[in-house]
Amino acid sequence: MRVFLDTNVLVSAFATRGICADILSAILAEHQLILGETVLSELRRILRDKFKVPAAAVDETVSFLRREAVVMSTSADLQVPIRDPNDVPVLGEAAQGLADVLVTGDKDLLEIDALVPLQVLSPRGFWDLLRAEPDTRE
């Protein structure tokens, strides 16, 4: 499965221990991680400015993600009504990357699930989806 993670999920994965960290681990082990330049830029800014993570650690985190993910630098042009214009490039990069699922905690994105060509799930919803899949690694 091709999975696009929104910034809020990545921030939680790196800043705390919990479901988002578990989701990132599961994706890296069993699925294809898709990210966008918009998300990586936001992640860099939030880790640096909000969490006061040292620049070297932020650079290492972003470099790790670039090595492990397919990173989209272009965005599909989706004609979907989104309340927050900052969400448009995130959604477009997920679609451009042919993601099957966009995992986000952003309520604006979660509300448009039926209007876009991919599934939009909360971290809990995605975790439940992962746990419902049969194990094919025998």
Structural domain contains residue 137: no
Domain count, the chain: 1
Quick one: 28 exposed, middle or buried, by C-beta within 10 A (0-12, 13-18, 19+)? middle
What is the rounded distance in angstroms from the CA atom of residue 4 to the CA atom of residue 2? 7
Q: Give the pLDDT score at 9.
A: 97
Q: Is the pLDDT of residue 12 over 60?
A: yes
pLDDT above 70 as % of the chain: 95
Domain of residue 24 covers 2-132
Structural domain contains residue 138: no
The string of DSSP codes covering 84-130 is -TTHHHHHHHHHHTT-SEEE---HHHHTTGGGSSSEEE-HHHHHHHH
Closest alpha carbon to 99 in 111, 108, 109: 109
CATH number of the domain at 51, please: 3.40.50.1010
Mean pLDDT of 89-111: 93
Q: In the numeric block, which tokens belong to residue 36?
A: 């966008």
